């Protein structure tokens, strides 16, 4: 499906990106702010996530109930999220409902009421969300691990903040941070589907102030990554959950394609090394895999698994053995070709989904400051050589940088630097 990408940059800093998909009746509209928890001062940790929640509590024109009713009437699913580096709001609707969807989201984002009683209520909701994460061992371990892997850095902090800090977010603090941060200069509007670019530009010009405000800047220093060995006991869990990780390139790095392929080969699918060795051959885990997690200026190669407590050490040994083998011997051409085919199929299939295409537009803009064509992406992917994968593993899979974390009823687990040796 051919890309028909257009862009318009308004004088107030707002960027409008569209990807027209003739022949479909759907349209996805996304509002992506270049702000997340990474931009927050420590004393306001969690305020981006708090604002993502509280903008739905009402505007000067709509109550919270009216927002909910209108969302349901549009028939679309309105998703909102906060990450370390962005905050996003997206809705997928029938094409003739796009102006109504735009008006709804723009009103929510530009004119939130931030009523004090509503803020108090939502504080309780978010604290319950935090408790829910603590009851989900995989998510909870991820939070504990991030704090240790990115010590003394915003990337290591909980996106939702802490109960104490969240309780401090009154109307004055919330409204000021919203005015200073969630403005047109930090906004990328991305739409895909059966849409008209000029119509969306017109809607954007009408909905958002022409006032020019400074764009948010990421903290100047990338994190100094730690290599923790962290074991957290929880006697109530049947399984032990574990993470093994090393530093990796960031999302803007020239080796990002090789990094994705490396993670794919090691643990990205059912034919991957870890899936076959850990699950299929030895039956040690139901869920095991690897991923390349990339921020704008840094990244992390991460292996995850859930297994019985008495089997953790064996799984660790298998993971380290595969990482050691990649460092020593690299990967085969057959493995690389398969990973490329898998990734190419995923990219091409995503072209059929307007939501995926809108998100791709926004990500390219926020990370690279330009659009990357399908031809360029596939060309860069296919240009990766086995030597590139080998060099990347040799650079980043180093014993001193290997991090480990586990959560479960595993009192006798003995994991040290020697066991993690690559």
- For 303-341, what is each residue's pLDDT tens digit? 999 999 999 999 999 999 999 999 999 999 999 999 999
Which residue shows structure tokens 């800090």?
A: 165
Let me know if 52 is a catalytic residue: yes
Distance between CA atoms of residues 94 and 169, nearest Å: 37
Domains, the chain, with CATH or none: 5-207 (3.30.830.10), 229-408 (3.30.830.10)
Of the residues 40, 52, 322, 335, only one is catalytic, namely 52
Which pLDDT score, from 0 to 100, does residue 75 have? Answer: 84
Residue position matching structure tokens 């948010």 = 216
Residue 215's pLDDT is what?
75
241 class by beta-carbon count within 10 Å (0-12 exposed, 13-18 middle, 19+ buried) = buried
Specify the pLDDT at position 353. Answer: 92
Per-residue pLDDT tens digits for 175-192:
999 999 999 999 999 999
Least Cα distance to 241 among 286, 287, 305 occurs for: 305
**Do 98 and 195 form a contact (C-beta atoms < 8 A)?**
yes
pLDDT of residue 213: 77
Evaluate whether 261 touches 268 at the Cβ level (below 8 Å). Answer: no
Question: In the chain, which stretches have pLDDT less than 50?
Answer: none
């Amino acid at each position: 499906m051919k890309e028909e990408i257009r862009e318009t940059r308004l004088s107030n800093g707002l960027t409008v990106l569209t990807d027209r998909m003739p022949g479909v009746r759907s349209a996805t509209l996304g509002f992506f702010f270049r702000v997340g928890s990474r931009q927050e001062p420590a004393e306001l940790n969690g305020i981006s996530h708090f604002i993502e929640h509280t903008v739905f509590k009402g505007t000067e024109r709509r109550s919270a109930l009216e927002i909910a009713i209108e969302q349901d009437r549009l028939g679309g699913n309105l998703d909102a999220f906060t990450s370390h580096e962005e905050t996003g709001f997206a809705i997928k609707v029938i094409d003739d409902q796009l102006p109504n969807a735009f008006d709804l989201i723009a009103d929510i984002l530009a004119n939130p009421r931030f009523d004090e009683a509503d803020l108090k209520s939502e504080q309780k909701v978010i604290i319950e969300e935090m408790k829910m994460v603590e009851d989900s061992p995989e998510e909870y371990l991820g939070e504990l691990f991030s704090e240790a892997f990115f010590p003394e850095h915003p990337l290591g902090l909980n996106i939702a903040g802490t109960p104490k800090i969240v309780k401090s977010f009154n109307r004055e603090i919330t409204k000021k941070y919203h005015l200073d941060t969630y403005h047109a200069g930090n906004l990328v509007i991305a739409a895909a589907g059966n849409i008209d670019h000029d119509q969306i530009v017109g809607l954007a010009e009408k909905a958002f102030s022409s006032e020019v405000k400074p764009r948010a800047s990421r903290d100047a220093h990338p994190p100094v990554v730690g290599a923790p060995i962290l074991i957290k006991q929880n006697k109530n869990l049947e399984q032990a959950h574990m993470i093994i990780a090393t530093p990796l390139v960031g999302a803007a790095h020239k080796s990002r394609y090789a990094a994705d392929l490396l993670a794919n080969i090691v643990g990205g699918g059912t034919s991957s090394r870890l899936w076959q060795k850990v699950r299929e051959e030895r039956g040690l885990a139901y869920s095991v895999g690897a991923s390349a997690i990339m921020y704008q200026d840094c990244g992390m190669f991460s292996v995850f698994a859930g297994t019985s407590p008495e089997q953790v050490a064996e799984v660790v040994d298998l993971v380290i053995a595969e990482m050691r083998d990649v460092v020593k011997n690299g990967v085969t051409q057959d493995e690389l070709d398969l990973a490329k085919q898998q990734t190419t199929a995923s990219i091409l299939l995503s072209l059929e989904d307007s939501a995926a295409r809108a998100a791709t537009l926004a990500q390219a803009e926020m990370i690279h400051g330009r659009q990357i064509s399908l031809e360029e992406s596939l060309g860069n992917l296919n240009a990766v050589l086995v030597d590139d994968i080998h060099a990347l593993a040799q650079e980043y899979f180093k014993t001193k940088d290997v991090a480990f974390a586990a959560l479960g009823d595993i009192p006798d687990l003995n994991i040290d630097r020697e066991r993690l040796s690559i």
